[in-house]
Amino acid sequence: MTLPAIEELRDVARVVALPMATRFRGVTVREALLLHGPEGWTEFSPFVEYDDAEAAAWLAAAIDFGWNPQPAPVRTEIGVNATVPAVAAADVAAVLARFDGCRTAKVKVAERGQSLSDDLARVAAVRAVMGPEGRVRIDANGGWNLDEADRAIHALADLDLEYVEQPCATVDELAEVRYRTKHLGVPIAADESVRKATDPLAVARAGAADLIIVKAQPLGGVAHALQIVAAAGLPAVVSSALDTSIGLAMGAALAAALPELDYDCGLGTASLFTMDVAAPPLVPRGGVLPVGRVEPDAALLDAAAASPDRQAWWLARLQRCHAALVAHG
């Protein structure tokens, strides 16, 4: 990949801060750095706690999407799931109402400071709203140890789970929990074990998952993520990393280019923001997203502009990650 000069990136960078309707994975305001390249707008938004080595892959993805043509799509719209943060059961219906027409819901579980009974109540509330024909998947973000995952999956299986995403942190634990719960017929999906791993194919080799979750930014871009899916030989679900509508368009480009796509994708997360950079934002309508580039609204870019100190922080991070890509060659 030919890298644009850092001066070119800095000249087209816009840093935004988007407030969220509900706290999600500890985040109440989502920050992102947007870039305008020859192919269109793109996004660089690794979470603030990620180090530069990890964040550099996100920059590679942003540059690829903004400066290079993308793989040809094989579909024009993407079915998406609703995303339910670790809210109280009583708040579930209001969250789901933000996701127009979605018949699949992903529910966060294993939240720090909460219990299995909290998870059971939340997932049961989602099932009640979705009805028997709705699809309900859960995501633990690696928050359970092996015995906790075993116990939780057994407790939640009666709610007819589509799959359990990253119940444990390690590949070995995923393989063991998959073995322990196989009789329940609940598939195991790997997310962090693919996205954050130095060897994203280790999950497939270990037989640790039935499907993989892929995200365009942390995997270095659409083309590289497609290569990982092909090499893994497992069904894939494309998800977001709490992106703005610009980043969600990158995720939709990945989902659109997959030869097979059997699951709804986690690309409806702009519905969790109270404002976005695009008008209208890239949120599900009738349970689907269109595939295509997204242009930000100039007034919304100004309204969402981050504070001067946060802009400086992101521009410094951009420079460090660019230097890491240059050094890597």
Q: Which amino acid, 204?
A: A
Query: Is 100 labelled a binding residue?
Result: no
Q: How far apart are CA 232 and CA 211, in angstroms?
A: 9
Beta strands 27-37 and 40-44 are antiparallel
CA proximity to 57, closest of 255, 198, 248: 198
Q: Helices (DSSP H) in 33-102: which residue ranges?
A: 52-67, 92-96
Query: Is 176 labelled a binding residue?
Result: no
Active site residue 182: no
Tokens of 59: 């920059």
Active site residue 108: yes
Q: What is the DSSP letter of 157?
A: G
Q: Which helix (H) or strand (E) holds 188?
A: strand 188-190
Find the length of the chain.
Answer: 329
Strand order in the sheet with 40-44: 14-24, 27-37, 40-44
Q: Please report, for residues 51, 53, 223, the alpha-carbon distance to residue 198 in angstroms, rounded to integers and kept in the order given.
A: 14, 11, 18
The active-site residue out of 106, 182, 196, 215 is 215
Q: How far apart are CA 54 and CA 271, in angstroms?
A: 27
Query: Is 165 labelled a binding residue?
Result: yes
Report CA Rg, the chain.
19
The secondary structure of 215-268 as a DSSP string is: -TTTTTSHHHHHHHHHHHTS-EEEB-SS--HHHHHHHHHHHHH-S---S-BB--
Tokens of 215: 């995200």
Q: Please report, for residues 131, 192, 226, 253, the alpha-carbon distance to residue 197 in angstroms, rounded to integers and kept in the order given.
A: 36, 7, 16, 23
The active-site residue out of 106, 108, 182, 196 is 108
**Catalytic sites, residue numbers:** 108, 215
Annotated binding residues for Mg(2+), written as ranges, equal: 139, 165, 191
Annotated binding residues, written as ranges, equal: 139, 165, 191
